[in-house]
Amino acid sequence: MDKIEPTPEHQWLHQFVGEWTGTGSMPAGAAGEGNDCPPWTVEETVRSIGGLWIQAEGRGKGPDGMPSLTQLTLGYDRKKQRIVGTWLGSMMDYLWVYEGELDAAGKVLTLHTEGPDCLGTRPTARYREVIELRGANERSFSSHVQGDDGQWKLLMECRYQRKT
């Protein structure tokens, strides 16, 4: 098998390698009527896997105050010409599978997936996760669910700062 050289998309993902700290929040009512969540913090370590993948391990307390561990893996699939990946968390038994794309400016990665409907109105729902570079040492992550009306609703967001 020939050696696979990283593409510009692989290199873009590797901007995230390092140690990060984040603060997450949910808009009022995002967790359901009367279930407002206080802000939470997360520590994240992002590693390179062979220059082709990144793996992000998040540690902290979730919106419910319980300890949580998360794993995000992202890479670039040359055949699909898409960013692909998975996410899992200790708070749920569902493996999220992503496909997405970078915007033309190379600042925003939008990932698409389908999974259990957190709004509880149907078995599954479409989700959109948005990762935005806001500089070499700052980024944001937001998660959105598509409602029955086709509109996207913000579920949560987290702002990260690189540790020095």
Tens of pLDDT, residues 97-151: 999 999 999 999 999 999 999 877 789 999 999 999 999 999 999 999 999 899 9
pLDDT at residue 63 in the model: 66
pLDDT at residue 31 in the model: 55
Entry pTM:
0.91
CB 26 within 8 A of CB 37: yes
Q: Give me the mean pLDDT over the 53-69 stretch.
A: 89
Torsion angle of the four alpha carbons 151, 145, 97, 91, in this order, in degrees rounded to the nearest 10: 180
pLDDT at residue 30 in the model: 63
pLDDT in tens, 7-58: 999 999 999 999 999 999 988 766 555 556 788 899 999 999 999 999 999 9
pLDDT at residue 38 in the model: 82
pLDDT at residue 2 in the model: 80
pLDDT at residue 52 in the model: 98
Question: Cα separation of 30 and 25, whole Å?
Answer: 10
Q: Give me the mean pLDDT over the 61-75 stretch.
A: 88
Question: Cα separation of 17 and 128, whole Å?
Answer: 23
**Is the model's pLDDT at 156 over the cut of 80?**
yes
Of 56, 50, 51, 119, which is closest to residue 85 (Cα–Cα)? 56
CATH of domain 8-28+40-155: 2.40.128.20
pLDDT at residue 3 in the model: 85
CB atoms within 10 A of CB 20: 21
